[in-house]
Amino acid sequence: MKKIISVSKISRHFQVGKQVVKALKSISISINQNEYVSFMGPSGSGKSTLMNIVGCLDTPTGGEYVLNGKNVSSMSESELADVRNKEIGFVFQTFNLLPRASALDNVALPLVYAGYKKEIRDSMAMKALKSVDLTNRATHKPNELSGGQRQRVAIARALVNKPSIILADEPTGNLDSKTSEGIMDLFSKLHDTGNTIIMVTHENDIAAYSKRIVRLMDGNIESDKKNLK
């Protein structure tokens, strides 16, 4: 199995006044292609900091992070932005959709930064919408969609560039239980078709959908187990 993520002795320290906060102390973890992993832990455990580093939104204080064969540990911000656009599809709790843009245009946004022509962008975006069963809402704006439909648009946007990993941060946090179940069933379907998914959640019933659960506590990995459910 191809290794997508290799994190070796990663630390992340923050200066808060005169105090140094060690958000991550020495984290080592590997994730293979087509794994479905949940990062769990209470507030302050380091799971969000680890997510930010894995998502190339932040750089570590120490250690090494290799993403799909590229050492991204000490890249510049512009280099990290390029890696984020090509390698990572983000799904956020708050959807992060452009309010005045259609579902199709929201999904196509990463392709604009990647330099694709409009005709190709629209074709690729429509295919991504089809994968989340939303082609009939392509011309609708976010305020014309339900919460679940908005999250499906966000998932389609994450998929459109065919990234190495899909990184989902509390993807059901703003949804009711029935809608959450539909979104998690969609993630399971995407995993079954070969996508690598990393999810950050504090909810056990949401983490139960994943195949591997990594629990963090006080900046360290407390446990890393396969989910046998």
Residue 229: what pLDDT?
Answer: 67
Q: How far apart are the first and last CA of the chain?
A: 22
pTM: 0.91
Place of tokens 């990463």: 110
Q: Which domain holds residue 85?
A: 3-226
Long-range residue pairs from 140-144, CB within 8 A, at least 24 positions apart, any chain: 140/102, 140/103, 141/99, 141/100, 141/101, 141/102, 141/103, 142/95, 142/97, 142/98, 142/99, 142/103, 142/106, 143/99
Residue 196: what pLDDT?
Answer: 95
Residue 115: what pLDDT?
Answer: 86
Q: How far apart are CA 137 and CA 27, in angstroms?
A: 42
Residue 43: what pLDDT?
Answer: 87
Q: What is residue 87's DSSP assignment? A: H
User: Which residue ranges of the chain lie beneath pLDDT 50?
Assistant: none
Give the domain CATH number at 145.
3.40.50.300
Q: How far apart are CA 22 and CA 159, in angstroms?
A: 33
Domain count, the chain: 1
